[in-house]
């Protein structure tokens, strides 16, 4: 079991949202628990009981083999030996009783959880109005999830809450939002938490409904004509004359924001999000219009886009979704006025935006080369939307594609949510995508490699071969190693650190955090002879933890100034 995934799921279930880049993949947990079922209590007791019995037997045999001559020793010594033996026997008995108490309590706890699960399952069935609900994820997998949680010693109350939340339905989450008062609105994090729970519930319920539909269609063998009957009568399920459980399924969809659609080529009946239902539900929510648009787009993403797309790639209408996402990110305002602690929905928005971008970049189909249609869509975006915040991303990608004959290469999941956020931060409004350098490894790795190579060569002329970035990395590592020769050779003549007395201070400057802590470096070019590097972390991109200004002097990139926080 992946601890991190389990912890993330529990946090979502208990209203503790940290960051929501992606909804928990329950199938990963299911794969493990299906391989390892919980052992009965008596099996757990046998090893301990056998060990305890063996220890008691060993003591008895030891006592019976004592040399009779020892019995003639002083009474005090005999009493002391008997006391020690008695104490050992008592300890074994205490441990045995303690373990028995623990196992009994576990058994009681398992019974309480099983009873609670059964009660909530019956309530769930009644709420949906469907006789057979065993194919719903909430039913089919929740018990295995409980067993997995048991292994991680999660408290009983948390497990109860997990069961309660798993058996809620979208309409109940909507009702929770209706109950938000004017006083509640003063706490943006509370409101945001309620809405995030609604988005999560729509996603998980959508997936369950789709799976249930597939099971029913496979069971009843309706054929294409029968499936079209379902499609045409979904708004009036009482007129449907087919199997009762399918009639109940149609009624359930109408009340939970879902509907049926028929895909073409080939014909495939599936569940889809009813966007009109979402819009109608949000009409009276006490949130601004941009927030409502964000909720609708995220709900669509976490249902239709995530679950319906075949593989990972582009789809019809993706450009419209990208532009809608961009407008939301530009106009969205954080009511907390706290840039250091954004609302969880912001993380969700940036992550979804990165997913839309990555799908658009990788295009349609599974071929290793981008299709002609996808190539034209990327080029058309550059022509039609020159002012888009995403323009620099597409422009960089198209240039690289053209250099590799449109080979998809490493463009899967290329753009991160952090990079998208940087492009939308006012602090970096003049920055383009090509100016964002992601450090997959700490900068110290680059610096050490250059430092070792320069040490082997011992030839200053090689400095002319270094890019500005390489020279910066070499300087930092050399300063870290307190190599005054290299540091001096990488300082401009008008640097504040020039002079033997000041060089010492340059070496004393703490560069460790610049070599190890940044996740990203943003480069800002004044011209082709001067560039400044800003070091930021993923956790707080508004706070520059340091910077270095580089200038080209006699064909060599050198450090002109250090920017310290």
Q: pLDDT tens digit string along 283-330? A: 988 888 888 999 999 999 988 887 765 557 888 889 999 999 999 999
**Distance between CA 474 and CA 452 in Å, rounded?**
10
CATH of 443-564, one of 3.30.70, 3.40.30, 3.10.450, 2.40.160: 3.10.450
Q: Three-class SS of residue 530?
A: strand
**Distance between CA 348 and CA 138 in Å, rounded?**
24
150-159, 369-378, 493-502, 554-563, range with the lowest pLDDT: 493-502
Q: How many helices (H) and strands (E) does the chain have?
A: 25, 7
Contact 228, 217 (CB under 8 A): no
Q: Which of 62-71, 128-137, 315-324, 376-385 has the highest mean pLDDT?
A: 376-385
**Distance between CA 276 and CA 235 in Å, rounded?**
13
Contact 480, 443 (CB under 8 A): no
Q: Which pLDDT band, with edges at 50, 70 and 90, does 110 fall under?
A: confident
What average pLDDT score do residues 323-338 get?
Answer: 80
Q: Is the pLDDT of residue 234 over 70?
A: yes
Angle at 149 (CA atoms; ends 145, 153), nearest 5 degrees? 165
For the chain, the C-alpha Rg in angstroms (whole number) is 33
Contact 185, 108 (CB under 8 A): no
Please list, in sequence order, all residues whose beta carbon lies within 8 angstroms of the beta carbon of residue 166, skipping any fewer than 6 positions away: 13, 120, 138, 142, 145
Angle at 414 (CA atoms; ends 408, 417), nearest 5 degrees? 155
Closest CA to 377 of 388, 363, 387: 363
**Distance between CA 217 and CA 214 in Å, rounded?**
5
pLDDT of residue 30: 37
Q: Pick the more confident residue, 457 or 193.
A: 193
pLDDT of residue 46: 32
Q: Is the pLDDT of residue 466 over 80?
A: yes
Q: How many CB atoms lie within 10 A of CB 552?
A: 17
Q: Is the pLDDT of residue 342 over 90?
A: no
| DSSP state letters, 447-467 | HHHHHHHHHHH--GGGGGG--
pLDDT of residue 506: 58
The 3-state secondary structure of 535-546, one letter per residue: EECCCCCCCCCE
pLDDT of residue 226: 92
pLDDT of residue 555: 92
Closest CA to 474 of 514, 521, 417: 514
Q: Three-class SS of residue 436?
A: strand
What is the CA 528 to chain-centroid distance, rounded?
39
């Amino acid at each position: 079991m992946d601890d991190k995934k389990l912890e993330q799921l529990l946090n979502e279930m208990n209203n503790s949202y940290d960051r929501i880049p992606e909804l928990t993949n329950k199938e990963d947990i299911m794969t493990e628990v299906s391989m390892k079922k919980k052992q009965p209590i008596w099996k757990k007791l046998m090893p301990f009981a056998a060990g305890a019995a063996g220890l008691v037997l060993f003591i008895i045999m030891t006592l019976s083999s004592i040399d009779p001559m020892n019995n003639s020793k002083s009474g005090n010594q005999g009493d002391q030996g008997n006391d020690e033996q008695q104490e050992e026997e008592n300890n074994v008995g205490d441990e045995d009783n303690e373990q028995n108490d623990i196992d009994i309590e576990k058994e009681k706890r398992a019974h309480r959880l099983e009873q609670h699960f059964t009660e909530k399952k019956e309530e769930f069935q009644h709420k949906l109005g469907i006789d057979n609900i065993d194919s719903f994820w909430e039913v089919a997998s929740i018990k295995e999830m409980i067993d997995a949680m048991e292994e991680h010693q999660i408290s009983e109350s948390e497990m109860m809450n997990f069961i309660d939340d798993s058996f809620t339905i979208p309409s109940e989450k909507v009702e929770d939002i209706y109950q938000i008062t004017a006083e509640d609105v003063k706490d943006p994090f509370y409101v945001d938490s309620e809405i995030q729970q609604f988005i999560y519930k729509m996603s998980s319920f959508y997936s369950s409904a789709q799976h249930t539909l597939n099971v029913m269609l496979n069971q009843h063998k309706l054929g294409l004509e029968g499936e079209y009957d379902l499609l045409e009568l979904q708004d009036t399920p009482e007129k449907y004359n087919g199997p009762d459980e399918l009639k109940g399924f149609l009624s359930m969809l109408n009340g939970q924001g879902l509907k049926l659609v028929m895909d073409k080529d080939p014909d495939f009946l599936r569940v889809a999000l009813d966007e009109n239902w979402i819009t109608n539900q949000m009409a009276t929510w006490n949130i601004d219009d941009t927030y409502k648009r964000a909720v609708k787009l995220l709900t669509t993403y976490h249902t239709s886009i995530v679950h319906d797309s075949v593989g990972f790639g582009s789809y019809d209408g993706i450009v419209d979704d990208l532009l809608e996402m961009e407008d939301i990110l530009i106009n969205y305002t954080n009511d907390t006025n706290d840039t250091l602690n954004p609302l969880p929905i912001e993380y969700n928005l940036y992550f979804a935006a990165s997913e839309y971008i990555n799908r658009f970049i990788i295009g349609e189909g599974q071929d290793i080369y981008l299709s002609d249609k996808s190539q034209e869509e990327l080029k058309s975006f550059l022509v039609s939307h020159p002012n888009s915040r995403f323009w620099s991303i597409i422009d960089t990608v198209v240039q690289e594609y053209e250099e590799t004959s449109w080979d998809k290469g490493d463009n899967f999941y290329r753009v991160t949510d952090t990079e998208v956020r940087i492009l939308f931060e006012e602090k970096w409004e003049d920055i383009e995508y090509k100016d964002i350098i992601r450090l997959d490894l700490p900068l110290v790795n680059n610096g050490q490699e250059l430092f070792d190579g320069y040490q082997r060569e011992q030839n200053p002329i090689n400095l002319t071969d270094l890019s500005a970035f390489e020279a910066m990395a070499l300087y930092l590592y050399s300063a870290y190693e307190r190599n005054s020769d290299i540091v001096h050779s990488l300082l401009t003549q008008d640097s504040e650190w020039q002079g033997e007395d000041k060089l010492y201070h340059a070496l004393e400057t703490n560069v460790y955090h610049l070599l190890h802590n940044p996740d990203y470096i943003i480069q800002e070019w004044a011209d082709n002879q001067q560039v400044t590097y800003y070091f930021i972390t993923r956790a707080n991109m508004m706070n520059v933890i340091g910077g270095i200004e580089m200038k080209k002097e006699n064909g060599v990139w050198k450090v002109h100034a250090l920017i310290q926080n």
